[in-house]
């Protein structure tokens, strides 16, 4: 089908964009990469009165490393993040996860801000934001604020972003050397995940325990942090305990909400995804 | 009434100025207003890849951009590729290796392949298949398409080596 009628606005600055959002609120939709909004318009699942095209806001595109943070502008396209060698070095989890996002032509347009703003429960970038402890920066006419990823994803396509706010940037803390694992189960390459896991491990400081952050996605109405699983991972030292870890993962997921679809099958997929993600951690899985 | 907007852009090397309805997508605009029916329309939601073309040299879905958004940008369609010396080897390889049957997927497949082959690096057949996984072909079973892209890749890599561009 074809997109319905709408009014097309193209701001030249963030100030102009947030003024437009303030004026139109819920009746407006931001157009970033368009790789989700355009299908929604074409299928008439979305019919905003106003479309605000932010593609001229070049200030929102780009990657900067400053003072222990990596800041990725909301309008940065997946392909440009993948091509940046600093990401592979400092945020290897993103480098591992991005090839799973759709296909090259979609990644040439799709933006990281669009993915987080949309909050598809099966999407890779929201899960990575959780596992990496990212902060999401929002702007409105009232000013700017930063929201922790774990406080941002509230439910199915639902986030802490207010209608008059736009996503400006994602800030990832750079915490020194980490090991990462990422795995998802999907019907075909480039499809949204049926179940997936993202793992970040900070090596143990002298005399201490390693620190794990584990996100599960594709299972519930939103990506979640599996905190109990992370604790158990940090405390068990041998691979024979993998079963305890996987059982904790199931418990973490079930405690967080109702699984979409056949729960038994999806939990098996989830266990498999976590196990494979953990197996990618060098030198030993746990 | 549908809102209109003025756009100026480069189409296959020539500057074009047009007035377009803001809700019209790029591939419909090229087919209906510019008469370039080489780019095909399949699913209209980004899945099949038939509408894939090059915008500022990157492969994108023509059904997932508004025509209004190409103001100031440069578009290359399969009609432009046909005149482009730099990709002649790819077009010839598609013919030589029978990489098309009905041809519906071909314009999009070529746009994806052009970008893939621009900075050649050694790739396995499996990697090539993964790279074209966003373009559906209902006829060839993909093997012949991978043959064609693989042939061009090998030749380009060999030429680069001969020119001393690869260690
Ligand atoms: C065939 C296909 C396969 C795909 N497969 C995957 C996949 O495997 N994994 C995956 O994660 N995604 C996938 N996607 C979706 C793709 O990643 C989208 O690019 C992404 O979800 C949205 O990013 P966008 O920049 O295109 O946003 P848009 O489509 O432009 O916008 C999406 C939504 O976010 C809002 N928005 C965008 N930017 C902002 C902002 N800065 N501030 C506030 N709101 C904003 C928009 O108003 C809209 O509601 C796929 C898409 C297609 C077409
Ligand atoms: S018509 Fe654009 S991807 Fe199918
Ligand atoms: S040749 Fe017919 S769809 Fe590919």
| Domain A179-279 coded CATH 3.30.390.50 | yes
In chain A, residues 2-31 whose CB comes closer than 8 Å to chain B: 2-8, 10, 31
| pLDDT top residue among A281 and B145 | B145
Q: How confident is the model at residue A90 (pLDDT cuts 50, 70, 90)?
A: very high
B105 and B42 in one domain?
no
pLDDT at B167 over 80: no
Task: Kindly report the average pLDDT of chain B as a whole number.
Answer: 96
pLDDT at A156: 96
Which residues constitute the domain of residue B93? 85-162
Q: Which ligand is nearest to the CA of B63?
A: 2
Residue B137 in tokens? 């072909």
Separation between Cα atoms, residue B110 and residue B97, nearest integer Å: 14
Q: How confident is the model at residue A86 (pLDDT cuts 50, 70, 90)?
A: very high
Ligand 3 atom closest to the Cα of residue B138 is 3
* B147 located within any domain: yes
Separation between Cα atoms, residue A196 and residue A275, nearest integer Å: 10
CB A119 within 8 A of CB A126: yes
* B66 located within any domain: yes
Whether residue B26 lies within 8 A of chain A, CB to CB, comes out as no
pLDDT at A154 over 90: yes
CA B145 vs CA A129, A223, A279, B102, B128: distances in Å: 37, 37, 35, 13, 9
* B126 located within any domain: yes
How confident is the model over B32-54, as pLDDT tens digits?
Answer: 999 999 999 999 999 999 999 99
The region, left, alpha or beta by phi > 0 then psi within -120 to 50, assigned to residue A182 is beta
The domain spans of chain A are 7-53, 60-173, 179-279
How confident is the model over B50-106, as pLDDT tens digits?
Answer: 999 999 999 999 999 999 999 999 999 999 999 999 999 999 999 999 999 999 999
B50 lines ligand 3 (CB under 6 A): no
Query: Residue ranges of the alpha helices (H) in A137-262?
Result: 149-152, 227-235, 242-256
B75 and B8 in one domain?
yes
Equal fold, A7-53 vs A179-279: no
B66 and B97 in one domain?
no
How confident is the model over A235-276, as pLDDT tens digits?
Answer: 876 556 888 999 999 999 999 998 877 899 999 999 999 999
| CATH architecture of the domain formed by A60-173 | 2-Layer Sandwich (3.30)
* Rounded distance from Cα A111 to ligand 1 centre (Å): 7
B69 and B11 in one domain?
yes
B158 and B93 in one domain?
yes
What number is the ipTM of this complex? 0.95
pLDDT at A237: 62
| CATH architecture of the domain formed by A7-53 | 2-Layer Sandwich (3.30)
- CATH number where B75 lies: 3.10.20.30
Q: How confident is the model at residue A284 (pLDDT cuts 50, 70, 90)?
A: low
B77 and B90 in one domain?
no
């Amino acid at each position: 089908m074809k997109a319905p009628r709408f009014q097309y606005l193209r701001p030249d600055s963030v100030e102009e964009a947030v003024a437009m959002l303030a004026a139109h609120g819920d009746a407006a939709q931001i157009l970033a990469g368009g790789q989700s909004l355009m299908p929604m318009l074409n299928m008439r699942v979305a019919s905003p009165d106003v479309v605000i095209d932010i593609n001229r806001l070049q200030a929102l595109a780009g990657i900067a490393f400053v003072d222990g943070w990596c800041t990725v502008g909301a309008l940065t396209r997946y392909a440009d993040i993948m091509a940046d060698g600093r990401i592979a070095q400092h945020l290897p989890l993103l480098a591992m996860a991005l090839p799973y996002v759709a296909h090259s032509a979609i990644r040439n347009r799709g933006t990281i801000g669009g993915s987080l703003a949309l909050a598809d429960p099966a999407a890779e970038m929201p899960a990575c934001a959780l596992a990496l402890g990212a902060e999401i920066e929002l702007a409105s006419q009232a000013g700017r604020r930063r929201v922790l990823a774990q406080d941002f994803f509230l439910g199915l396509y639902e986030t802490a972003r207010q209608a008059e706010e736009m996503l400006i940037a994602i800030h990832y803390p750079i915490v020194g050397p980490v090991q990462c694992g990422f795995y998802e189960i999907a019907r075909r390459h480039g499809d949204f995940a049926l179940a997936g896991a993202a793992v970040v491990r900070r090596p143990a400081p002298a005399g201490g325990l390693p620190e794990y952050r584990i996100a599960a996605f594709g299972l519930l109405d939103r990506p979640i942090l599996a905190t109990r699983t992370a604790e158990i991972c940090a405390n068990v030292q041998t691979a024979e305990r993998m079963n305890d870890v996987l059982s904790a993962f199931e418990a973490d997921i079930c405690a967080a909400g109702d699984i979409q679809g056949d729960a038994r099958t999806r939990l098996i997929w989830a266990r498999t995804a976590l196990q494979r993600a953990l197996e990618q951690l060098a030198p030993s899985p746990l | 009434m549908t809102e209109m907007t003025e756009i100026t852009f480069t189409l296959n090397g020539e500057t074009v100025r047009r007035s377009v309805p803001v809700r019209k997508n790029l591939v419909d605009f090229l087919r209906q207003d510019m008469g370039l029916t080489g780019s095909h329309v399949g699913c209209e939601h980004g899945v099949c890849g038939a509408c894939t073309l090059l915008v500022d040299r990157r492969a994108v879905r023509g059904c997932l951009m508004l025509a209004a958004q190409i103001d100031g940008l440069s578009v290359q369609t399969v009609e432009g590729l046909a005149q482009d010396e730099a990709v002649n080897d790819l077009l010839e390889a598609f013919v030589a290796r029978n990489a098309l049957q009905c041809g519906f997927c071909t314009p999009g497949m070529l746009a994806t392949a052009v970008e893939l082959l621009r900075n050649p690096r050694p790739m396995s057949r499996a990697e090539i298949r993964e790279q074209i996984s966003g373009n559906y072909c209902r006829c060839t079973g993909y093997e012949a398409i991978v043959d064609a892209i693989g042939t061009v890749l090998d030749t380009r890599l060999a030429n680069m080596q001969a020119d001393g561009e690869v260690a």
